[in-house]
């Protein structure tokens, strides 16, 4: 997909599905960021739960250009609101800030990050006192405060710093027996190669598994150094950006030491994997494994939440274990809302975000990585064999892909959207459409574990095409058909 040209003028300040993001130096500047941070901090204080007396606001940041400096700068805005900023001593995964909020019973967190976006982006995420992203009503109130034009005078000062990373690692080690995981990997003869994509999750998984795992070669990292350019690609866990990891995994396996790759996005809230054969495994394949492990082996309670773009294999595995499945629109906020209101085993989206009811109402990739390793140790099989066994047991599809298609302009997008709404296709690439689902975009079901979904970006002329089918060839055929449909309008 061709990159969009960089804008010359700043866009209006508006929050998306998880925070405010934009081009550094155009949309994200210190003059714009300080009022946003102040409005968010005031909103956190104003809507604090009854009985929460804390005045602390956790400040986190990733490894992007100027992220540490801007994180320290917004401490002055928080202090100007009469609150106490608590700044992470180092760059950390975003879920570490959420963990700190819950552990310290703080008002919330402000995190300077642009997550998986391209290197020229930066942004701000807001976490509530419950340890997850705030909802749309909250961010709309932040925007209302900004529109009202209130002034908060920043108060300079040396911020109080704390070991957010160490606190987070220690917290995760109370939830999973990491020493047993390291011993289990050694017993299986399996090496874990971690690719944090130069992001803020670097060092976390080796620290969780301990020095013994590192010295024995059970775990090692690539691309762990800070690089604000992320090697020239977005720090998003997608196969085209992971050739170095795929090469390292297949080389290890060929040398007689089966390996698995685990990859985190730029701020450590998304995960993907590479199996011992070099196959890219998105959460379309990892979520069924989490469901099976947590429901069958751990026997934890709760329902399963998937987005409408999630693989049918998730539902097949869950139903085979007599677990209720809820299907939601794309976006982790819908999953988090269910996690806050009911008992959830696991919830996940196809783009790499996974949350667990026994943990935080938040995407947490390092925690997911621990559970992935735990599932392999429990099952006694490498990742690829484990997934293959699940697919054979439940009859799920073997292939999935997503294509992001940039349309000529917003008018073209509106024409295609109107056409799909008025007359959805009755046939796709030679297969009759059995069901039209409009939970989010248009999903056309063609058969068991066989579907095409067309979903538009809310802010730009971008069409996302998703397909699951019995074979890679059929996925390519259906996506090609969908591309032709989009380009014909």
pLDDT in tens, 210-259: 988 888 889 999 999 999 999 999 999 999 999 999 999 999 999 999 99
End-to-end CA distance of the chain: 19
- Give dist(CA 389, CA 383) in Å, integer: 10
Question: What values do phi and psi take at 7, rounded to 5?
Answer: -75, 155
Q: Is the dihedral of CA 453, 275, 277, 404 positive or negative?
A: positive
Q: What is the pLDDT of residues 192-216, one digit of tens each?
A: 999 999 999 999 999 999 988 888 8
Question: What are the pLDDT digits (tens) for 25-63?
Answer: 999 999 999 999 999 999 999 999 999 999 999 999 999
pLDDT band, residue 1 (cuts 50/70/90): very low
Q: Yes or no: say if 178 and 193 are a contact pair by the CB < 8 Å rule.
A: no
How many Å apart are CA 431 and CA 477, to the nearest integer? 11
* pLDDT for residue 7: 64
- Exposed, middle or buried, 355 (CB in 10 Å: 0-12/13-18/19+)? buried
Sign of the C-alpha dihedral, residues 29, 86, 226, 234?
Answer: negative
**pLDDT number for residue 214:** 85
pLDDT score of 18: 85
Per residue in 88-135, pLDDT tens? 999 999 999 999 999 999 999 999 999 999 999 999 999 999 999 999
Domain with CATH 3.30.310.50 in the chain: 399-487
Mean pLDDT of 431-447: 96
Query: In 174-281, where does DSSP find H-type helix?
Result: 178-188, 204-209, 211-216, 243-254
Q: How many CA atoms lie within 13 A of 136 on its CB side?
A: 7
pLDDT band at 2 (very low <50, low <70, confident <90, very high): very low
Identify the three-state secondary structure at position 16: strand
Kindly report, as residue ranges, where domains of CATH 3.40.120.10 are found in the chain.
Answer: 20-166, 175-394
The domain defined by 175-394 folds into Alpha-D-Glucose-1,6-Bisphosphate; Chain A, domain 3 (3.40.120)
- Res 211: pLDDT: 87
Determine the pLDDT at residue 149: 86
Mean pLDDT, rounded, of the chain: 94
Confidence of residue 6 (pLDDT cuts 50, 70, 90): low
From the list 432, 294, 286, 262, the residue with the least C-alpha distance to 350 is 286
Residue whose pair of structure tokens reads 């892909």 in the numeric block: 401
Rounded Cα distance, 342 and 324, in Å: 12
pLDDT tens string 139-173: 999 999 999 987 889 999 999 999 999 999 999 99
Among 3.65.10.10, 2.30.38.10, 3.30.310.50, 3.90.105.10, name the CATH number for the domain at 399-487. Answer: 3.30.310.50
* pLDDT tens, position by position, 365-413: 999 999 999 999 999 999 999 999 999 999 877 789 999 999 988 888 9
Q: How confident is the model at residue 10 (pLDDT cuts 50, 70, 90)?
A: confident
Burial 172-192, CB ≥16 within 10 A → b, else e: bbeebebeebbbbbbebebbb
| Range 20-166: architecture per CATH | 3-Layer(aba) Sandwich (3.40)
pLDDT at 4: 56
């Amino acid at each position: 997909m061709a990159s969009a040209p960089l804008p010359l003028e700043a866009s209006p300040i508006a929050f998306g599905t998880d925070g405010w993001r934009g081009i550094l130096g155009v949309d994200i500047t210190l003059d714009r960021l300080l009022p946003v941070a102040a409005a968010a901090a005031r909103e956190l204080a104003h809507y604090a739960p009854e009985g929460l007396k804390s005045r602390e606001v956790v400040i986190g940041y990733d490894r992007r250009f100027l992220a540490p400096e801007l994180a320290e700068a917004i401490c002055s805005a928080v202090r100007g609101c009469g609150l106490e900023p608590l700044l992470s001593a180092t760059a950390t995964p975003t879920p570490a800030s959420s963990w700190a909020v819950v552990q310290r019973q703080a008002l919330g967190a402000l995190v300077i990050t642009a997550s998986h976006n391209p290197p020229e982006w930066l942004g701000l995420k807001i976490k509530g006192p419950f340890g997850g992203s705030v909802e749309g009503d909250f961010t709309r109130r932040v925007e209302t405060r900004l529109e009202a034009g209130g002034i908060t005078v920043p108060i300079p000062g040396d911020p109080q710093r704390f070991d957010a990373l160490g606190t987070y690692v220690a917290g995760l080690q109370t939830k999973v027996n990491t020493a047993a995981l390291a011993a289990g990997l050694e017993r299986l003869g399996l090496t874990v190669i971690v690719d944090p994509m130069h992001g803020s999750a670097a060092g976390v998984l080796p620290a969780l598994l301990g020095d013994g795992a590192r010295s024995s070669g059970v775990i090692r990292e690539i691309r762990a150094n800070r690089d604000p350019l992320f090697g020239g690609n977005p720090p998003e866990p997608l196969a085209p950006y992971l050739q170095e990891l795929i090469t390292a995994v297949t080389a290890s396996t060929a040398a007689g030491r089966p390996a698995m790759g685990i990859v985190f996005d730029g701020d450590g809230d998304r995960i993907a994997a590479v199996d011992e054969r070099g196959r890219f495994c998105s959460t379309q394949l990892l979520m069924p494994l989490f469901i099976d492990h947590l429901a069958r082996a751990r026997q934890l309670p709760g329902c399963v939440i998937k987005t409408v773009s999630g693989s049918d294999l998730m539902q097949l595995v869950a139903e085979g274990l007599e677990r209720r499945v809820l299907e939601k629109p794309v976006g982790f906020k819908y999953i988090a809302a269910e996690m806050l209101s009911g008992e959830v085993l696991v919830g996940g989206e196809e783009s790499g975000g996974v949350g667990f009811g026994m943990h935080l109402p938040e995407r947490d990739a390092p925690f997911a990585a621990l559970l992935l390793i735990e599932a392999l140790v429990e099952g006694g099989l490498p990742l690829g064999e484990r997934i293959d066994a699940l697919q054979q047991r439940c009859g799920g599809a073997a292939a999935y892909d997503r294509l992001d298609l940039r349309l000529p302009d917003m008018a073209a997008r509106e024409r295609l959207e109107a056409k799909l709404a008025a007359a959805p296709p009755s046939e796709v690439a030679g297969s009759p459409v059995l069901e039209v689902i409009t939970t989010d975009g248009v999903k056309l079901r063609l058969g068991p574990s066989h579907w095409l979904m067309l979903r538009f970006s809310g802010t730009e002329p971008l069409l996302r095409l998703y397909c699951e089918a019995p074979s890679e060839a059929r996925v390519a055929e259906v996506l090609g058909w969908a591309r032709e449909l989009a380009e014909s309008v």
